[in-house]
Amino acid sequence: MPDGLIVYRLRFRMPMHSPKTPTPPSTSKTHAFSWSRFFVHCSIVVAAVSLGFASWFIAKPTATRLHQTIPGQRLTITATPDIDISLDTDSTVTVTNTEPPRIELLRGNAYFDIKSKSADKLQVKVGTTYIKDIGTRFSIRKQADGGSVAVAEGQVEIQVEAGTYLVSSRERADFDGTRVTGHKMIAEAEVAPWRVNK
């Protein structure tokens, strides 16, 4: 080989032999099963499903129905398949479409007939007082300074500022938002006397 060619190759650093072409890395990788990855993926799926259900329940709008009677009119409504409400003349009640329904007596008298024990979570608001049904049939009267509860069958709890009071079958009690007074025994006809002449 002539000296000029060697000098030329050294000067420009040309390889004496042809370079090797690099081989591409192997693309076939085998992944071993990993429990930690499996649990991470499962937890992501569970979280997504839970968020979907939560958004469906939260997005469900709450509707409130207003039922009222004019003087001289009486009305019986079906709040749910297990709860009937009879309204006396000149009375107003609101009922929501939630489960259980939220009921508020705004004016007058109402008689509640609970047909199933599954509806025992019913709570009725009267002013600042809450009446929780533990029984099956009772009436509530709203007055300007409170009201009264009379129980035909079962029991109800009256929740006022002073505490919770239990009223049993054929008993009546008055409340004013702070305390319960006038707890006494009554005849069944006195539970809702306005219903007798219905």
pLDDT by residue (tens digit) across 22-62?
Answer: 565 555 556 677 888 888 888 998 998 888 877 766 766 77
Does residue 91 form part of some domain? yes
Give residue 19's pLDDT. Answer: 56
In this model, does residue 8 exceed pLDDT 60?
Answer: no
CA distances from 157 to 95, 130, 171 (A): 20, 8, 12
Does residue 36 form part of some domain? no
User: Alpha-carbon distance 159 to 84, whole Å?
Assistant: 22
Q: From 198, 124, 186, select the one nearest 151 (Cα to Cα).
A: 186
Instruction: Name the token pair of 139.
Output: 């009436």
Contact 133, 140 (CB under 8 A): no
What percent of the chain clears pLDDT 90, i.e. is strictly above it? 38
pLDDT by residue (tens digit) across 48-99?
Answer: 888 887 776 676 677 889 999 999 999 999 988 889 999 999 999 999 988 8
Lowest mean pLDDT among 24-33, 113-122, 128-137: 24-33
User: Alpha-carbon distance 171 to 152, whole Å?
Assistant: 8
Q: pTM for this one?
A: 0.68
Does residue 46 form part of some domain? no
Give residue 197's pLDDT. Answer: 60
Does residue 44 form part of some domain? no
Using CA atoms in the order 67, 105, 116, 134, what is the torsion angle rounded to 10 degrees?
180
Does residue 114 form part of some domain? yes
User: Alpha-carbon distance 123 to 78, whole Å?
Assistant: 16
CA distances from 139 to 89, 132, 149, 171 (A): 14, 12, 6, 11
Question: Structural domain tally of the chain?
Answer: 1
Instruction: Read off the CATH number of the domain in which 143 is found.
Output: 2.60.120.1440
Does residue 126 form part of some domain? yes
Does residue 98 form part of some domain? yes
Exposed (0-12), middle (13-18) or buried (19+): which is 5, by Cβ within 10 Å?
Answer: exposed
In this model, does residue 189 exceed pLDDT 60?
Answer: yes
Give residue 78's pLDDT. Answer: 92
Provide the domain limits for residue 96.
68-196
> Which uninterrupted H or E stretch holds 41?
helix 35-59
Task: Give the confidence band of 21 by pLDDT, cuts at 50, 70, 90.
Answer: low
Does residue 31 form part of some domain? no
- Phi–psi pair at 140, nearest 5 degrees: -130, 135
